[in-house]
């Protein structure tokens, strides 16, 4: 069978071990901060259901050994992603989990995004933005897998024990 290549602009890494390291959020200039808040305010006015809760943003990926990647992350809120619409500003990419859940007949489940999201009605695999750990908690691979299991329950009502889920890929979208 011919090898399937990822779409242009996407890197798929062969990762066996993923390390997580929390770092400080890069500072924003006062003008970028004001522009971000203005864009967020407009988005919120257009969709009052938007939620500005805590999420994890990826601040970097680096190889630390064969098949081992260190992912640096910062705590932000969804408001941070309004920077994507501010000319000249840089928004950190999301740290997101998706679950490929096959059905008994070989199909894959997909869901529609809720009205409270940035893309209401869009079809996607079950998943969501990774939330930062509670005080004293650790963000590691098992925490991310637990969040993937939580997304299955929240979006599809399917209960899956985290230990039954198999982490399978780290993808970095191109720009």
Bridge pairing between strands 68-77 and 17-22:
parallel
Helices (H) and strands (E) in the chain, counts: 2, 9
SS3 call for 76: strand
Q: Which residues of the chain have pLDDT under 70?
A: 1-13, 118, 169-175
| DSSP state for residue 96 in the 8-state scheme | E
The predicted-structure confidence for 41-81, as pLDDT tens digits, reads as follows 999 999 888 889 999 999 988 889 888 889 899 999 999 99
The DSSP code for 79 is: G
**What residue spans define the domains of the chain?**
12-169
Residue with tokens 């500003």: 89
- pLDDT reported for residue 23: 95
């Amino acid at each position: 069978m011919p090898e399937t290549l990822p779409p242009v602009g996407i890197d798929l890494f062969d990762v066996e071990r993923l390390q997580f390291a929390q770092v400080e959020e890069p500072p924003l200039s006062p003008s970028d901060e004001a522009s971000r808040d203005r864009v967020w305010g407009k988005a919120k006015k257009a969709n009052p259901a938007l939620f500005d809760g805590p999420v994890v943003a990826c601040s970097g990926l680096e190889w630390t050994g064969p098949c081992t990647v260190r992912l640096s992350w910062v705590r932000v809120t969804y408001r941070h992603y309004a920077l994507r619409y501010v000319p000249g500003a840089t928004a950190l990419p999301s740290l997101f989990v998706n679950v490929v859940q096959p059905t008994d007949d070989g199909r894959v489940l997909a869901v529609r995004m809720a009205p409270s999201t940035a893309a209401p009605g869009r079809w996607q695999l079950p998943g969501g933005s990774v939330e930062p750990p509670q005080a004293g908690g650790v963000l590691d691979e098992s925490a991310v897998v637990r969040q993937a299991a939580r997304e299955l329950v929240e979006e599809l009502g399917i209960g899956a024990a985290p230990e039954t889920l198999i982490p399978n890929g780290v993808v970095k979208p191109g720009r």
